[in-house]
Amino acid sequence: MKNKILKTAVVLLSGGLDSATVLYLAKAKGYKCQVLIFDYGQRHKQEVACAVKIARASNCVYRILKIAFPWKGSALLDEKMKVPKKITPGVPATYVPARNIIFLSFALSLAEVIKAQAIFIGAHAQDYSGYPDCREEFFEAFRKMAKVGLATKNKIKIVAPLLNKNKSQIIRLGNKLGVPFNLTRSCYRASVKPCQECDSCYYRAKGFEEAGLTDPLIN
């Protein structure tokens, strides 16, 4: 009898509830996951520590990759820029230029080296319509690029399973999968407790309310 081939995936983990849900979803689908955490100079550095806790809770190997955006260009990188309190139309000040392109490129390199079959990312479009790198068009284009830019061609799947889900649907899914939401962080500000004012805090609170669940970080 032949040994069963174990599927391997690289999972991008930020420390937020979306990427944590994706990690637990990948595990539920039978993947052995290697977690990739980015320390990119973000002002909300607490998310890196949260990502480590989540990776350890899920018994996954993890790597912290330290990179820099010295030109900044985002309220998440430049303390001179204010994190907005109100949701405004257009591209938010919290958008980090080309972040998902850069993160996925590192993930592809790691996946090719460890011979992973998939990359999982927790991007979703409905709540963050102002982020150009959280749209289906972006991921379709990136998949096409990966097919011609890698030696492995189309053997590495890029999976964004939350793309068309809203926050409450993601929270319900995470709850079903046993995601430790108490270890996650969603706030854009470098504060000890969630500020309850930024976009990320707003959507998290709205999501838990619509899901009919209690956020363990607030209550």
Q: Quote the pLDDT of residue 195.
A: 87
Left (φ > 0), alpha (ψ -120 to 50) or beta: where does 69 sit? beta
Cα–Cα distance, 179 to 215 (Å, whole number)? 12
Nearest to 28 by CA among 5, 60, 72: 60
pLDDT surpassing 60 at residue 2: no
Q: What is the mean pLDDT of the chain?
A: 91
Average pLDDT over residues 200-218: 93
Residues 49-108 pLDDT 10s = 999 999 999 999 999 999 999 999 999 999 999 988 777 778 888 899 999 999 999 999
Fold of 7-211: Rossmann fold (3.40.50)
Question: According to the model, what pLDDT value does residue 219 have?
Answer: 62
Position 90 scores a pLDDT of 81
Q: Are 123 and 133 in contact (CB under 8 A)?
A: yes
pLDDT at residue 1 is higher than 70: no
Q: Is the pLDDT of residue 194 over 90?
A: no
Q: Scan for tokens 């889900």, then name that residue.
A: 165
Helices (H), the chain: 17-28, 46-57, 99-114, 136-149, 167-177, 199-211
